């Protein structure tokens, strides 16, 4: 009988895994099945650009099955629950799938229903998100008629998918308003539960100064309790108020509901895993990859890419009866659009702050770290092609999975 690998989620991490493992696992001995609710694979970094007209909707969505290799079964269905003791997954249509090894790659999802007042009569009228396809399209329409007032960009809580995206939207909004001659009629406010602009202190200082340079107000340590719809204001637990005319919010992000129903998740439905191997802390034959696990690092595509490289090598060792020797270090790198055709690049891991220097090669780069450049902006735009043609198909990308200190400096001065 064949061994069964079951992957729940055909997004970035799940697709990379099956492409890499289908080449490495003997098809006569292993079956691979992917389950996802639909056949639409979004390029999620593209959502950021839709409100400003840089990308059209048809540029950021393709078919999931087009990126799955021959010999992989693709099941379109919703997952009801995982029975870890029986090694089965029940689907909402009544089907039951068995597995020998399970990979949970179900991602994370914005949950506006978790904040009182967010998902109500003002939702997508004066309150918008851009972390979903529909939200980004609705916001694009709203911006066309917004020419004055108070535009507030707000993060409900951490962790969120792509934690730099709210800052990127704020910088792009500033540039867009200037380009349309409206910046002097719009007050921009960035509201965050963090003590500064970003999670990492070095990057937070740099990004905070960029907000100040653009005359964007920073409201930090703001933990939202509710939204006062009548008066159009964010209300924090310590009773501070941030009024708005147009609110662009990042709702609370949570993992899949089936994770909760299965008893596999924490309070946000993320699967507790070993942060170096991605293996479930409760079940040795279950792994959580991409945004589905509780790794203490960014929920970003680069983390999925670097961690999947480690996972694949470890998985092959595991099924061969060997110890898993690979150790993911939390490596992440993020392009940050800063407007006016420029961008920054961050490179960091669990233990090391974003540093200045060159990337990916020491001295020659060609990309600069923690510095606004045209090259970083072009790198951000080029990543869409890399995503579809290299990353998802599981082709080799000449970047080290572990963070390298070559070419970096330990000071931002």
CB neighbour list of residue 46: distance below 8 Å, 6 or more residues apart: 55, 59, 60, 384
Name all domains of the chain by residue range, CATH numbers in brackets. Answer: 3-108+255-319 (3.50.50.60), 111-252 (3.50.50.60), 332-409 (no CATH)
Residue with tokens 């696990």: 293
CB neighbour list of residue 134: distance below 8 Å, 6 or more residues apart: none
**Pair 347, 369: CB distance under 8 Å:** yes
pTM of the prediction?
A: 0.95
pLDDT at 142: 97
pLDDT at 412: 42
**Pair 244, 150: CB distance under 8 Å:** yes
Q: How many residues does the chain have?
A: 413
Rg over alpha carbons for the chain, rounded to the nearest Å, is 21
C-alpha span between 328 and 234 (Å, rounded)? 38
C-alpha span between 161 and 408 (Å, rounded)? 26
**Pair 377, 339: CB distance under 8 Å:** no
pLDDT beneath 70, residues of the chain: 410-413
Cα angle value 18/132/271 (rounded, 5°): 50
pLDDT tens, position by position, 192-246: 999 999 887 888 999 999 999 999 999 999 999 999 999 999 999 999 999 999 9
pLDDT at 57: 73
**Pair 311, 287: CB distance under 8 Å:** yes
pLDDT at 93: 97
Positive or negative, the CA dihedral 298, 299, 302, 307 is positive
pLDDT at 406: 80
Helix axes 301-319, 12-24, angle to 10 degrees: 30
């Amino acid at each position: 009988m064949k061994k069964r690998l079951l992957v729940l989620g055909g997004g970035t991490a799940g697709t990379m895994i099956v492409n890499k493992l289908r080449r490495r696992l003997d098809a006569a001995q292993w079956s691979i099945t992917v389950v996802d609710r639909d056949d639409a694979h979004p390029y999620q970094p593209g959502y950021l650009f839709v409100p400003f007209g840089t990308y059209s909707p048809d540029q950021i969505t393709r078919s999931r099955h087009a990126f799955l290799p021959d010999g992989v079964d693709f099941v379109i269905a919703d997952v009801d629950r995982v029975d870890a003791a029986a090694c089965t997954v029940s689907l909402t249509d009544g089907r039951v799938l068995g597995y020998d090894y399970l990979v949970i790659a179900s991602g994370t999802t914005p949950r506006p229903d978790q904040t009182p007042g967010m998902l109500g009569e003002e939702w997508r009228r004066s309150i918008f998100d851009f972390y979903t396809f529909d939200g980004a399209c609705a916001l694009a329409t709203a911006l066309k008629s917004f020419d004055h007032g108070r535009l507030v960009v707000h993060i409900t809580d951490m962790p969120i998918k792509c934690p730099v995206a709210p800052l990127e939207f704020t910088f792009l909004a500033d540039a867009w308003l200037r380009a349309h001659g409206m910046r002097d009629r719009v007050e921009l406010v960035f509201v965050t539960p963090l003590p500064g602009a970003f999670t990492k202190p070095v990057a937070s200082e740099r990004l905070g100064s960029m907000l100040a340079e653009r005359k964007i107000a920073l409201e930090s340590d703001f933990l939202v309790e509710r939204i006062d719809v009548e008066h159009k204001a964010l209300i924090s637990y310590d009773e501070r108020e941030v009024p708005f005319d147009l609110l662009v919010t990042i709702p609370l992000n949570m993992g899949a509901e089936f994770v909760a129903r299965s008893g596999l998740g924490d309070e946000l439905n993320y699967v507790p895993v070993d942060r170096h191997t991605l293996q479930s802390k409760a079940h040795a034959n279950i792994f959580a990859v991409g945004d589905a696990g509780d790794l203490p690092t960014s929920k970003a595509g680069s983390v999925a890419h670097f961690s999947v490289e480690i996972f694949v090598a470890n998985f092959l060792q595991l099924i061969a009866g060997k110890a898993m020797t690979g150790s993911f270090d939390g490596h992440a790198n993020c392009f940050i659009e800063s407007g006016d055709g420029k961008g920054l690049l961050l490179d960091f891991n669990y233990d090391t702050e974003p540093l200045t220097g060159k990337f990916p090669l020491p001295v020659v780069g060609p990309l600069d770290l923690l510095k606004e450049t045209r090259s970083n902006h072009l790198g951000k735009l080029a990543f869409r092609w890399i995503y579809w043609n290299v990353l998802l198909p599981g082709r080799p990308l000449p970047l080290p999975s572990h963070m390298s200190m070559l070419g970096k400096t330990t000071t931002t001065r």
